[in-house]
Amino acid sequence: MKKLSFPITGMHCASCAMNIQRKLLKTSGVASANVNYANEQATVEFDENMCSEPQLGKAVESLGYKAHIGEQKGSEDIVEEARAHDLTELKRKLWVSGILSALLLTAAMIPFAPPFLKNPWLMWLLATPVQFWAGWQYYQSAWSGLKNRSANMDTLIALGTS
């Protein structure tokens, strides 16, 4: 038996960790698996004759997450880089969505807003990037959950905002 610990990026909630753990346990040759959401780390004990490290990575990636197996950097560095990238992307989405939503709010709530802002096609044009560009990660995660017959927090968000 071999014991392997590796970082996993892309988890959003404890349900994500449970789904990954369930998938790893279903992989043939895996004796035990523990996925920690807090430190974004998986620890797997497996039989090398029945399962390989790339198979574990494919099992995790089939759920829509990224398994960093066999990378040269330390797991803390990998997780930190992923967090920094995600934070930069979220800030950009926040600014763009905030500006577009402010225009929509102005058009909908202020009676003396310019008439061109009340055009339904313009409102649709302003709302579409907020819904589908800024919220794409929720739809992507919900679809991945649907394919794997499991629901998570992102499924609820995708259903609630659509």
Per the DSSP assignment, residues forming a β-bridge with 33 are: 44
Question: In the CATH scheme, what is the code of domain 2-72?
Answer: 3.30.70.100
Interacting residues of 33 by C-beta distance below 8 A, sequence separation 6+: 21, 24, 25, 42, 43, 44, 45
pTM (predicted TM-score): 0.67
Residue 127 and residue 63: Cα distance in Å, rounded? 29
Give the pLDDT of the chain (162 residues) as one tens digit per residue.
889 888 898 888 888 899 899 999 999 889 999 999 988 899 999 998 888 888 999 999 988 888 888 775 666 777 788 788 889 999 999 999 999 999 999 888 888 878 888 888 999 999 999 999 999 988 988 888 788 787 778 888 888 988
Looking at residue 75, what is its pLDDT?
64
Looking at residue 86, what is its pLDDT?
85
User: E strands along 17-77, which residues?
Assistant: 30-36, 41-46, 66-67
Token pair, residue 48, equals 């090398």
Which residue ranges make up each domain of the chain? Answer: 2-72
Q: Are 29 and 51 in contact (CB under 8 A)?
A: yes
Three-state SS across 71-124?
CCCCHHHHHHHHHHHHHHHHHHHHHHHHHHHHHHHHHHHCCCCCHHHHCHHHHH
Looking at residue 73, what is its pLDDT?
63
